[in-house]
Chains A and B, each alone.
Chain A
Amino acid sequence: MTHAGQNKIWEEQMSIKKTLIATSLALMVAMPALAQSDFPTKTITYIIPFNAGGESDLSARFQQAEWKEHTGEDVIIQYQSGAGGAQAWSQLNSIPGDGYTVMGINLPHTVLQPMEGSVGYKTDELTPVNYFHYTPNAIFVTKDSDYKTLQDLIDYAKENPGAVTLAGSGAKSANNLGQLQFDELAGVKTTYIPFSGTGPSITAVLGSQTTAGFNYATSGTNQGDALRMLAVASEKRLPAFPDVPTFKELGLDIVGGAYRGVAVPDSASEEMRQKISDIVTEINQDPEFIKKMEDGGFVLTDIGYEQMPEFMKKMKAEYTKSAAALGIGN
């Protein structure tokens, strides 16, 4: 397709979307919540507590590409990495709470980190307003591996306790938690090999340095058919990988991975928290955004501000239990 043609279609889509937005904005103004349409009136800053190029950055970039259509204003992404995100989260509440600066927030990081010791913030001091997706854990092997199914791997692990090595990103991370859960539910003992990120750990899997990998399903997209995904830790099969069974289907109740959301400083008003949450929810319903995320192996969630207390309570209970297995917080 020519460039001009693409542009034309894009413009048409834009205008359709604009009409939709205008309608919904009109509805909002009509509603009792006053001044709804006054926000945002200028560029919003979106801080990512990690380095550029990771899953947190990528999903924020996907949001950024649609942000202006939905809010009428731009969003700029800044990076403030360090200490696995803790450096940025420990400073979240010192940012002005006017809603023009928001920050990415991740689970299980923000629950596990404060349990380990002083990291400069406590879980309950942070204010997530919307958790919009998660990257489910998944087990990968190379395409010419002997293990065709998860059962093959489990059988081998049962015969040879400890001999199955699983590469994952980081120690005491979502990958590590998933591997422990897998060991417990499948009744096997595997050896977890922590790497300094998804890239290096996937490289180890591709190079057959380890038996398999306990990574995020997103890696399944980037590596194409060089890798075989044995099972994925989502509720339902992923649209991008219709042939890959979930752990649940295979009788292991493992659902989880890394959740990502948007947080605001604690000084932000209730109204502002709701507005930010609404923007994130609205982008989550954008067909283009949904397509890109699902193609990438991300699973969209819609945990808005109202559902947050309940969601956090559930997740904290879950992670506290797993933390004991990791030897954290004792």
Chain B
Amino acid sequence: MELLGYFLDALTPFNLMLALMGVILGTVIGALPGLSATMAVAVLVPFTFTMEPASGLIALGAIYTGAIYGGAFAAILVNTPGTPSAIATTFDGYPMARRGDGGLAITLANLASVFGGLVGAIALLLLAPPLAKVALVFGPPEYFWLAVFGLTLISALSVGNTLKGLVGACLGLMLSMVGVAVVGGDVRYTLDIPAFLGGIDITSALIGLYCVPVILDLVSTRAAHLKVNTDVAKGGMRLREAMGIAWRSKFNVVRSSVIGTVVGILPGAGGSIAGLVSYTEARRSSKYSANFGKGEPDGVIATEAANNATVGGGFIPTLVLGIPGTPPDAIILGALLVQGIKIGPALFNDETQVVYTFIFGLLIATVLMLPTGLLIGRYAYKSVVSFPKSLLVPTVAFMTVVGSFAIHSNIQDTQMMFGLGVMAWVLNRYGFAPSPIVLGLVLGPIAEQGFVQSYLIGNATDNISGMFFGRPISIGIIFAALLTLGYPFFTEWRARKREVQPLTERAMDAKAHPANLQPKSATPDAPRGLDAGAILLAVLFAALGIMAYVATDAMSPMGAVFPATISVLLVVFSIGLVIFVLLRKGNPSDKGDPAASTTRRILLTIIFGLWVFLIPVLGFFVAGLAAFGTMMVLAEHESRPAKTWLIRTITAVAVVAGFWWMMADVLLLRMPMGLFF
């Protein structure tokens, strides 16, 4: 059989070594938030010029798939998705880690990633040409509805706080419009500051919105970052247990992998949406849907299976149509062209050896991810758990700075990351969770472009309603979105009919995994105080919405339609929220841990702020070292002997110097010099 021959080609010791090195390097780079697969692949391209095309491709593919899996570590252990594809991993992965199940979450992520990766790669191997048609039947209306479908997840993520979730989503959508609009070309909401022209970078926003609040909470308490499971049997990676869970969730694993492969085929949008879509589906179809968002293993499984399946899925349009599905695909495509290989429809016929050796290489790399991923995951988990807070706080803070800077070698992204992070902490304090904002930010551009393009095409062909509501795939997606929205209400209605307390309601009050929760006691709640902070913020957002609406006056009709709609919605939801809170309805704001030290939190914010704004003046290394040292002292709640401090200082220098070297000399980033370096 011909395919077997290609399989043997991929199995040469050199190719195996490349695949192994690629997976290891990719996992490590992917684990550091902000250092993305794109960056790793771009750096390695010149090295592949001198290799055989297939070997070069195997190395690049292995790094790519490793980096996507590595993204799960940061999402689970420090609540920071390094790429949009890992957003939904944080929803359940981080709560799992908090309660002492971090090792289990990482092992589950590994198993799901390997399975998803294999499904994607096998689809690429056997079904690529027919599946490529998926990319072609998805037109602007389908992208629009797919983004809307993703946004319906907000209703699920903000149970009991739906209005706050909707306000958050509108804020995220407004943030996504900052900069030069793709459709219409208007310059929107930049406040005349050139730094805003490029818009808000999604990765730095993710890092800021999710990770900075974690750091601020980390410094203020004595409690350990992650609970360590004292039960010896539950302290490690719990492979056997994870396999049991994965086996019980086999339908979820398979469904999520298939969703990941198919959605991953969509150029541009696939990678970020696939994880969200499969998470939504897993939640809807689960018996324990109310547990999602509070540490449900199925949530981690769904996202990780889906996002690794997008690797194979994304290569389908890349290799069959010559249209890169994701940014790393685009770079790999470029590498092929430099090698003199013609890509596009003829590739599968003319260069079969290269193509199939590559696909088998990708499969081998995915399998290698199982042992290496578990090993690296074990190490990552152990270091995060055993690191003293005094080192963990500055290290994580340093990683946020490195990650947000590395994307575009732009310090303004880092400053934006910090600003959004502080904002997220304040908003979260008053019940506005970061995830709806993030969903708005990620899905906003896809929804807007899809909407305006559909409108333009519909207008030109005199068929606007047919464009939006008359296409079969669109109707299917609309139906799925309605199902997701309506399903929780249906289960609640059914539960009430049976006169049991609906799980959603129990989950609302839960701080921990609701499976272990006792039903609410019969005694009525104490009267609630007025949630003044939420009212103040809602009034502020309403004002913001009005200003945003006024500003649409100067825009072209094409560029104005979306901001106008969203700003009106923002005003409506905000006013609704004010009324809601005045009527003492909904969940009150979380008052936070009373033992938390506000002084340390404020000091940390000041140091962090000084740091990101002094980098251009002092240079990256010097500013980083100074901030690291100060944060180290600030995060220590006990008095320690001099020897401990000496060891920590050495660690600090090593961490800062190590990252500096990696960024400047390995990833070849442009580092800000300033007065020193």
Binding site for B on A (CB under 8 A): 3, 45, 47, 51-54, 57-58, 61-62, 64-65, 76-84, 86-87, 90, 116-120, 162-165, 170-173, 176, 191, 193-197, 199-200, 202-204, 206-210, 221-226, 292, 295-296, 326-327
| A-B contacts, 14 listed (Cβ < 8 Å) | A53-B324, A76-B46, A79-B408, A80-B409, A83-B180, A83-B199, A84-B180, A87-B408, A116-B185, A171-B181, A194-B185, A199-B323, A206-B136, A207-B136
Main DSSP-derived SS at the A contact region: mixed
Min Cβ gap B605→A in Å is 26
A204 touches B139 (CB 8 A): yes
B670 touches A47 (CB 8 A): yes
Known: A64-B46, A117-B187. A203 touches B410 (CB 8 A): no
Contacts of B236 in A (CB 8 A): none
A53 touches B331 (CB 8 A): yes
Contacts of A209 in B (CB 8 A): 139-140, 457
Contacts of A206 in B (CB 8 A): 136, 321, 323
Known: A52-B327, A222-B322. A292 touches B338 (CB 8 A): yes
| Residue from A51, A78, A200 in contact with B670 in the complex, judged by beta carbons closer than 8 Å | A78
Q: How many Å lie between the Cα of A207 and that of B135 in the bound state?
A: 8
A202 touches B323 (CB 8 A): yes
A86 touches B49 (CB 8 A): no
Contacts of B457 in A (CB 8 A): 165, 191, 193, 209-210
Q: Does B525 contact A (CB under 8 A)?
A: no
A82 touches B323 (CB 8 A): no
Known: A53-B327, A53-B334, A193-B456. A223 touches B344 (CB 8 A): yes
Q: Return the CB mask of B433-477 against A: 1 if under 8 Å, else 0.
A: 000000000000100010001001101111000000000000000
A78 touches B409 (CB 8 A): yes
Closest 5 CB pairs of A and B: A53-B330, A171-B185, A222-B322, A82-B198, A207-B136
Min Cβ gap B86→A in Å is 20
Q: Does B182 contact A (CB under 8 A)?
A: yes
Contacts of B323 in A (CB 8 A): 199, 202-203, 206, 222-223
A80 touches B322 (CB 8 A): no
Q: How many Å lie between the Cα of A221 and that of B336 in the bound state?
A: 13
CB-nearest residue of chain A relative to B558?
Answer: A171
Q: How many Å lie between the Cα of A117 and that of B327 in the bound state?
A: 29
Q: Does B494 contact A (CB under 8 A)?
A: no
Contacts of B180 in A (CB 8 A): 83-84
Min Cβ gap B335→A in Å is 8
Contacts of A45 in B (CB 8 A): 668, 670
A51 touches B138 (CB 8 A): no
Q: How many Å lie between the Cα of A203 and that of B323 in the bound state?
A: 7
Q: How many Å lie between the Cα of A30 and that of B497 in the bound state?
A: 97
Q: Does B500 contact A (CB under 8 A)?
A: no
Q: Does B340 contact A (CB under 8 A)?
A: yes
Q: How many Å lie between the Cα of A225 and that of B344 in the bound state?
A: 9
B344 touches A226 (CB 8 A): yes
Contacts of B459 in A (CB 8 A): 191
Min Cβ gap A74→B in Å is 8
Q: How many Å lie between the Cα of A120 and that of B190 in the bound state?
A: 13
Known: A61-B45, A223-B321. A53 touches B333 (CB 8 A): yes
Q: How many Å lie between the Cα of A326 and that of B52 in the bound state?
A: 47
Q: How many Å lie between the Cα of A196 and that of B185 in the bound state?
A: 11
Min Cβ gap B596→A in Å is 37
| Residue from A64, A172, A202 in contact with B185 in the complex, judged by beta carbons closer than 8 Å | A172
